[in-house]
Amino acid sequence: MAELSEKKKGIEELLEKIPVEKRWAISAKALSGLNLLRIIFIRSLMGKGEGIISPLMGWEKYDEVSIKTWGEGGKRFLPWVKETFNIPVEDAIGADKLVIVAGKLLQGPEFESETVEATPERVVSRVTKCVWMERYNEFEVDPALSTCPAGDQAYFGEGLKAVNPKLTYKLTKAMPRGDPYCERIIEFEVE
């Protein structure tokens, strides 16, 4: 038992030598890589009418379920981030901050974005570097294989609605569709 405790202590000492930023980057890269492999695997099972899943579910149903799952995730994660980090979301600027913090938490240090327009009623921001696009490029996978744009729309759209029903989210450009960045518009309905 003492030997096991010493081994655990040795592992902890090794991990402590790895800077937190590096550990976070490795974790985000591993999780996004595993998710991409999941997408590739499911798509290969789907086939084109001849796959294992395709006759049972079909592409449209698969995409519908996938997008609904993303929306449900956003409904849970964005309110949690808002409360955990005490991010006020009383206008579009606060909502943009929430979306950027959530994006950074989900994607790690590879995630980069910039806000190009900001008023309390409307914010336009752009994701210029995305963990998913990085993995697509590393694995040489066509980004069109994923439901990323629709998933992003559902995740942040439903998440912001759960935080404040006066908020709307629209993904107007998306790197997986060939755009140079993903552009997001957040609007706050003023009474």
Domain boundary assignment for the chain: 2-188
Locus of tokens 């629709």:
150
Half-sphere exposure of 137 (CA within 13 A, CB side): 10
Superfamily of domain 2-188: Trafficking protein particle complex subunit 3 (3.30.1380.20)
User: What integer is the mean pLDDT of 122-149?
Assistant: 87
User: Do residues 98 and 17 touch, judged by C-beta distance below 8 A?
Assistant: no
* SS3 call for 114: strand
Q: Which residues make Cβ contacts (< 8 Å) with residue 158, sequence separation at least 6? A: 70, 71, 72, 74, 75
User: Do residues 73 and 151 touch, judged by C-beta distance below 8 A?
Assistant: no
User: What integer is the mean pLDDT of 126-139?
Assistant: 89
| pLDDT, tens digit, 9 for 90 and up, residues 55-96 | 566 667 777 888 898 899 999 999 999 999 999 999 999 999
pLDDT band at 1 (very low <50, low <70, confident <90, very high): low
User: Do residues 11 and 27 touch, judged by C-beta distance below 8 A?
Assistant: no
| pLDDT, tens digit, 9 for 90 and up, residues 21-52 | 887 777 777 777 777 776 666 666 665 555 55
User: Do residues 184 and 74 touch, judged by C-beta distance below 8 A?
Assistant: no
CA distances from 58 to 69, 70, 78, 147, 178 (A): 17, 19, 30, 14, 25
